[in-house]
């Protein structure tokens, strides 16, 4: 799995998430898979970090 597969986009109209994979399957165009709106915000998946506290 590449980093790209982890990319998520959030639709600014309906607020739902569309994954990069979904966009790729739909021809690679930025478009909400739920409402069809074309303005999506890039989201970063939460990165789990281990922080030493001792
Ligand atoms: Zn939408």
Q: Please give the domain boundaries of the chain with CATH numbers for all domains.
A: 4-43 (2.20.28)
pLDDT tens column, 1-46: 566 667 899 999 999 999 999 999 989 899 999 999 999 999 876 6
Query: 49 CA distance to ligand 1 centroid (A)?
Result: 31
Question: CB of 38 within 8 A of CB of 26?
Answer: no
Surrounding residues of ion ligand 1, Cβ less than 5 A: 11, 13-14, 32, 34-35, 37
Mean pLDDT estimate for the chain:
87
pTM, 2 dp:
0.68
Main-chain dihedrals φ then ψ at residue 22, nearest 5 degrees:
-65, -45
Query: 23 CA distance to ligand 1 centroid (A)?
Result: 13
For 25, what's the count of Cα atoms within 13 Å in the CB-facing half-sphere? 8
Pick from 14, 7, 9: nearest CA to 40: 9
């Amino acid at each position: 799995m590449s980093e790209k597969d982890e990319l998520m986009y959030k639709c600014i109209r309906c607020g739902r998430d569309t994954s990069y994979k979904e966009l790729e399957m739909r021809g690679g165009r930025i478009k909400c898979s739920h409402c069809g709106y074309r303005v999506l915000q890039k989201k970063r998946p939460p990165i789990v970090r281990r922080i030493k506290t001792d």
